[in-house]
Structure 1
Amino acid sequence: MAEQPSPRPRKERKENADRRRQQLLDATWRSIAQNGLGRTTLATVAAQAELSQGVAVFYFKSKIGLLTEALRDHYARYQATWERALEEAGDDPRERLIALIRADFDPDICNPEALSIWFAFWGEQKFTPDYAAISAQFDAARNDAIREACAALMEGAPEDEINRTGDWIDTFSDGCWQRLHVLPNSYSAGDCLDETLALAARLIPQIATRLMPR
């Protein structure tokens, strides 16, 4: 009797499954960038990943399941970037606020493909509650980090003033992303970073000395 092949260890099976799943998520971003959100399907993603459509169905069940997880993964990468920036900045709230702003224009986060994905999903939030819920969850974490830095720098200021200051910085950064997405030949990420830092320095003068050439 022929010897039966032994099954793969559970750890190896999980690693292979995670790798295949990430391969499909990466392909989803490429499909959205090339085809738009509406024309992205399990078939276009499978083609991008060079896998069968059945594999995409196996891991994500449906188009909405795939797109929801793709958005969650996109946000997770963004959060990992700004959390890493905060860790490297240390405890000084000036450095932490500057690090948060710089992270928004990191090339891994602020590039044409990534921006096209952000705006594609944001345009659908009104019609797809799952997208809105994911955005709210991840945005809240970053907003809290900005407000925490602002509160440390604006000691004694009313809470609503601190919150408004954080919101102004965040909204300005979002506006820069929109400029870069809509008018990519008229603005650069470096220029937008400088403008956002200048706004922050105007709102919170304590960080201005950290932005001067040394």
Structure 2
Amino acid sequence: MSERETPAGGRSRTAPREVRRSQLIDATISCIARHGISGTTMAMIAGKAGLSTGIVNFHFDSKQKLYEETIVYLAQEHHDKWFREYSNAGLSAAEKLLAIADAHFHAKICTPGKLAVWYAFFGEARRRAVYRDLIDRIDTRRFALSLQLCEEICRDGGYTSVNARVVAQTLEVMYDGFCLHILMYPRDLTRKDARAQIRTYLATVFPDHFTAP
């Protein structure tokens, strides 16, 4: 499905529905990163995308719907990145756990604009509720798989004193904390630094399976 947009020059342009939606989601990320959720308008998003507000309304019934699609897009993008690596049957449990960790700090995932959108949703009470409704399934699945990997590593290495659930929970906290720090203080912590600190933590907990940088 495609729609027609006629720019000022009078030359018609058409684009598939998914292309337009992608344009608008990218524009939404840019606008929220710069202006925040409350400061972003549909007119701003349309202008950033180089489209009319009519085209925005054609694809999204409301700004709320566009925001919801944007956060789902970001969550799915992150999920797809780590799940591709996780699904590699040739990887060990330790390598799969690192794949999940590293996906949080991939260059296409951990960008200032995308991080700003994540934390814009976290920062508003009613947005947090929406976030949980939309994203909880994806987050829950990642945690469950991480927990399974930690349990497998515990069994394989005989780490009888290690609580696998605590390790999996600690990793989740580290992901969120490092991403926030990268957003707020990018000169103090880089994506590479975050990956290194996670490896250091895992090497402390599972010394036979991980090596500190």
TM-score greater than 0.5 by the shorter chain: yes
Counterpart position of 1:192:
194
**Map of 1:58 onto structure 2:** 58
Q: Is the 8 A contact 2:200 2:212 kept in 1?
A: no
**Contact kept? 2:199, 2:212, Cα under 8 Å:** no
Q: Who is 2:105 aligned against?
A: 105
Match of residue 3 from structure 1: none
CA distance in 1: counterparts of 2:165 and 2:212, whole angstroms: 26
Residues 1:171 and 1:113: Cα distance change in structure 2 (over 3 Å): same
Is the 1:27–1:49 Cα contact (8 Å) retained in structure 2? Answer: yes
| CA deviation string 1:68-118 (max 9, x = no partner) | 111001111011111122134734101111111111111111121121111
SS at match of 1:205: coil
Query: Which residue identity does 2:122 align to in structure 1?
Result: W
Cα distance, 1:29–1:186 mapped onto 2, change above 3 Å: same
Structure-2-length-normalised TM-score: 0.85
Structure 1's unaligned 5+ residue stretches are: 1-9
Q: Which residue in the other structure is 1:76 paired with?
A: 76
Q: Which residue of 1 aligns with 2:182?
A: 180
1:186 aligned counterpart, secondary structure: coil
Q: SS where residue 164 of structure 2 aligns?
A: helix
For residue 212 of structure 1, report the CA deviation from its aligned partner: 6.3
Residue deviations 1:112-169 (CA, integer Å, cap 9, x gap): 1121111111112x313322212322211211121121011112878x9221110011
Question: Who is 1:31 aligned against?
Answer: 31
For residue 168 of structure 2, what is the amino acid of its counterpart? G
Gapped runs of 5+ residues in structure 2? 4-14
TM-score, normalised with respect to structure 1? 0.84
CA RMSD, 1 decimal = 2.2
The share of aligned pairs that are identical, in percent, is 27
Kindly tell me: are residues 111 and 39 of structure 1, through their superposed partners in 2, closer, same or farther at Cα, counting changes over 3 Å? same
Q: Is the 8 A contact 2:159 2:206 kept in 1?
A: no
Q: Distance in 1 between matches of 2:35 and 2:164?
A: 41
Contact 1:90 1:96 in 2 (8 A): no
Residue of structure 2 equivalent to 1:166: 168
Contact 2:28–2:45 (CA under 8 A) maintained in structure 1: yes
Q: What SS is found at the alignment partner of 1:171?
A: helix
**One-letter identity of the residue aligned with 2:183:** H
Q: How many residue pairs align between the two structures?
A: 198
SS in 2 for 1:107: coil
Q: SS of the residue aligned with 2:188?
A: coil
Q: How far apart, CA to CA, are the structure 1 residues paired with 2:31 and 2:88?
A: 34
- Maintained 8 Å contact 1:150/1:162: yes
CA drift of 1:197 comes to: 1.1
CA distance in 1, matches of 2:120, 2:89: 32
Task: Tell whether the 8 Å contact from 2:105 to 2:195 is kept in structure 1 after alignment.
Answer: yes
Q: CA offset at residue 206 of structure 1?
A: 3.2
Asked whether the equivalents of residues 203 and 212 of structure 2 are also in contact (C-alpha less than 8 Å), the reply is no
Contact 1:29-1:70 at 8 Å conserved across structures: yes
